[in-house]
Amino acid sequence: MKMTYDVVIIGAGLAGFSSALAAIKYNKKALIVAKGLGNFYSASGYIDFLGYYPANSKQPVPNPKISVKELIDKQPNHPYSLVGEDAINDAFSAFLQATNEMGLPYTGSMDENILMPSAAGALVPTSLYPKTANRKITEAKEVIVVGIKELADFYPVYAAHNLKRQLKCSIKPVWVTLGLKINRELNSYDIAIAMEKSEIKNSFINQLKSIVSKDSLVVVPAVLGVNAWQEVISDIEQGLECSVLEFPTLPPSVMGYRLAENLKDYLEFNGVDFIIGHPVTHVNYSQNACQEIGITTGSGRVKIINGDNFILATGGILSEGLFVYPHEIKETVFGLPVALVPQTTHEDFFDMEQVAISHAGVLTNTKLQPVKPGTQQVLYENIFVAGATLAGYDPFIEKSGNGVALASGYKAGLMAVAGREDGYNE
């Protein structure tokens, strides 16, 4: 039996989820199909719209809205230029509304990047973050960097040392132990589950009470609960009588997991179907449109999925949405042509603005339909491309990966379900 949907979204990352937000806005029947849940679950949980611009700048962008406007004027092939300011702003608003409705409220502004600490003690710019992380470390009078003995791969002395190079306030590293007697290495998810137990949480509080003051900002890895994080953070702040700021850890990232799981549950509650764990192995076209895709199940059978429109949000090279061969890069679902923008020469190989493989992806028009490189000829009318599969930008240097995923995913969804470029202005 064939399954039929208004829009079929291939990819279960932020771009795919954002496309689904647009689909439910128009009450369309949507399916997300993916071979796996991807790196969304191990990501920071922050939404970075534009951290550095130009790409070789060493100073963070203070106002993303202004810098995005400048980028759009100067780089017509950049995904933000194709998406446009209106769709970017509406994707921003739709995300904030969804996170509020699903019980994981985010905050932030396109008018300001704030600096958040990393696990290494670097200060990195971001635009959207959980309300529980709405603590400005740059305004703190005293920072207490807390390490947990049972947690692998975080060293508070190292993080504090790096923070001292960037902040003028008092910074003190401390260790606590949770008394977990488990004969294996624990990751951040394990610790976060344990922190939801009252005795573990209270032990954490009691070890810090004599160290902190009301002016302290307690900076701790994001391990303060998986499902009951708001309660855990609130209890710790009340117990210590000071503010607490979580920061993302090395994978698995609890902050990323919270966002991914809550957003997935929200989409399912609003009628979006999911098929996870099976790659797309079959595609059927009719002239310049895709009619159906097929996935191969564990039994080896091919399940056919019909769709009026299809959104390609499988990610870039790291997610294997693009696959690198010795002499070419291929898009792995529809076989769309991949462009290297710009072409690298030996002379400019180390130019941060000219790393071709980082800019590799599928070229599209402003409707995010794939086009033939060198022309604007639309290859398939009902396929739309979003996220890291797009050409023309470097998400790592720009620190724009999640912002591009959110904005392009949302616009691709609107193009698929509304069928016109002014749909996001309705």
Residue pLDDT, tens place only, 12-22? 999 999 999 99
Q: What is the DSSP string of 151-218?
A: BTT--HHHHHHHHHTT--SEEEEEEE------SS-B-HHHHHHHTTSHHHHHHHHHHHTTT--TTEEE
Residues 163 and 297 in one domain: no
Residues 273 and 130 in one domain: no
Residues 279 and 396 in one domain: yes
Picking from 239, 59, 250, the residue whose alpha carbon sits closest to that of residue 159 is: 250
Mean pLDDT calculated for residue range 252-268? 95
Confidence tier at 223 by pLDDT (50, 70, 90): very high
Q: What percent of the chain has pLDDT over 90?
A: 77
pLDDT for res 25? 94
Picking from 313, 222, 303, 219, the residue whose alpha carbon sits closest to that of residue 19 is: 313
Q: pLDDT digit string (tens) for 408-418?
A: 999 999 999 98
Residues 382 and 261 in one domain: yes
Residues 79 and 134 in one domain: no
Residue 426 has pLDDT above 50, yes or no: no
| Upstream peptide bond of 125 is cis (omega within 30 degrees of 0) | no
Whole-number Å distance between alpha carbons of 184 and 425:
53
Confidence tier at 343 by pLDDT (50, 70, 90): low
Residue 102 has pLDDT above 60, yes or no: yes
Mean pLDDT calculated for residue range 64-91? 96
Domain count, the chain: 2
CA geometry: angle 137, 139, 141, nearest 5 deg: 95
**What CATH number does the domain containing 392 carry?**
3.50.50.60
Residue 348 has pLDDT above 80, yes or no: no
Q: Scanning the structure block, which residue is given the tokens 């202005």? A: 425
pLDDT for res 117? 95
pLDDT for res 353? 54
Would you say residue 178 lies in a domain? Answer: yes
End residue of a domain, out of 216, 247, 278: 247
For the record, the structure tokens of 150 come out as 């049972």
Weakest-pLDDT range from 131-140, 237-246, 306-315, 346-355: 346-355
Residues 75 and 217 in one domain: no
End residue of a domain, out of 188, 213, 247: 247
Whole-number Å distance between alpha carbons of 148 and 139:
25
Residue 257, classed as helix, strand or coil, is helix
Residues 294 and 414 in one domain: yes
Whole-number Å distance between alpha carbons of 78 and 45:
23
Residue 337 has pLDDT above 90, yes or no: yes
**What CATH number does the domain containing 178 carry?**
3.40.50
Q: Would you give the end-to-end CA distance of the chain in angstroms?
A: 36
pTM of the model: 0.92
Residue 346 has pLDDT above 80, yes or no: no
- Do the beta carbons of residue 374 and residue 306 sit within 8 Å? no
Residue 217 has pLDDT above 50, yes or no: yes
Confidence tier at 301 by pLDDT (50, 70, 90): confident
Would you say residue 203 lies in a domain? Answer: yes
Q: pLDDT digit string (tens) for 372-414?
A: 988 889 999 999 999 999 999 999 899 999 999 999 999 999 9
Residues 159 and 182 in one domain: yes
Would you say residue 114 lies in a domain? Answer: no
> Higher model confidence: residue 421 or residue 63?
63
pLDDT for res 350? 54
pLDDT for res 75? 94
Q: pLDDT digit string (tens) for 23-56?
A: 999 999 999 999 988 788 888 999 999 999 998 8
Would you say residue 182 lies in a domain? Answer: yes
pLDDT for res 151? 92
- Tell me the average pLDDT of the chain: 91
Would you say residue 205 lies in a domain? Answer: yes
Residues 71 and 181 in one domain: no
pLDDT for res 419? 67
Residues 267 and 405 in one domain: yes
End residue of a domain, out of 222, 247, 272: 247
Would you say residue 49 lies in a domain? Answer: no
Confidence tier at 236 by pLDDT (50, 70, 90): very high
Would you say residue 398 lies in a domain? Answer: yes
Which residues, at least 6 apart from 45, have a Cβ–Cβ distance to it below 8 Å? 129, 130, 222, 248, 253, 255, 256, 258, 259
Residues 267 and 163 in one domain: no
Q: Indicate if the alpha-carbon torsion angle 257, 262, 264, 265 is positive or negative.
A: positive
pLDDT for res 197? 96
* Exposed/middle/buried for residue 36 (C-beta within 10 Å: 0-12, 13-18, 19+): middle
Residues 296 and 384 in one domain: yes
Q: By residue range, what is the domain housing residue 380? A: 4-43+54-93+257-418
Would you say residue 88 lies in a domain? Answer: yes
Whole-number Å distance between alpha carbons of 127 and 125:
7
Confidence tier at 341 by pLDDT (50, 70, 90): low
Residue 354 has pLDDT above 60, yes or no: no
Residue 344 has pLDDT above 60, yes or no: no
pLDDT for res 262? 96
Mean pLDDT calculated for residue range 61-72? 96
Q: How many CB atoms lie within 10 A of CB 301?
A: 9
